[in-house]
Structure 1
Amino acid sequence: MLQAVIWLADMADFDEMNDVWDAWVPEGAAPTRACGEAKLADANLRVEIIVTAAVAE
């Protein structure tokens, strides 16, 4: 992973999202990351993540 952009429906979820993120991303392998608040496409969604990745050849 090269970059992740995280959109939260409510920034009050930021700490909880960080806990999940830290458990998911291997230590030392976290990409550049940005996080913001946005009205998401579906009211049932709490988070959307856009990931840019590449495969080494």
Structure 2
Amino acid sequence: MLSAQIWLKDIDQDFAGMNAAWEAWIPEDAVPTRATCEAKLAHPELLVEIIVTAAV
């Protein structure tokens, strides 16, 4: 994984939880660049959207 773009519905409410899930999931020796911001998402029930760029 080269990079990740993360959009949260409510960055104040969800940033800490998203960081905890991210840190538990991503290997320590393969951390990609990451940007996180707040956005109005495609559907009201969505809390997060993520785009990942990867290479094989």
For normalisation by structure 1, the TM-score amounts to 0.93
Structure with the largest fraction of helix: 2
Counterpart secondary structure, 1:41: coil
- Counterpart of 1:50? 51
- Counterpart of 2:22? 21
Shift of 1:17: 0.2
> What letter matches 1:42 in structure 2?
H
**Structure 2 Cα separation of the partners of residues 48 and 23 of structure 1:** 18
Which 4+ stretches in 1 moved above 2 angstroms? none
- Runs of 5+ consecutive residues of structure 1 not aligned to the other structure: none
Count of aligned pairs between the two proteins: 55
- Aligned identity (percent) is 65
Question: 1:31-51 CA deviation, whole Å, 9 max, x = no partner?
Answer: 000000000001111000000
For normalisation by structure 2, the TM-score amounts to 0.94
**Structure 1 Cα separation of the partners of residues 44 and 31 of structure 2:** 28
Structure with max Cα Rg: 1
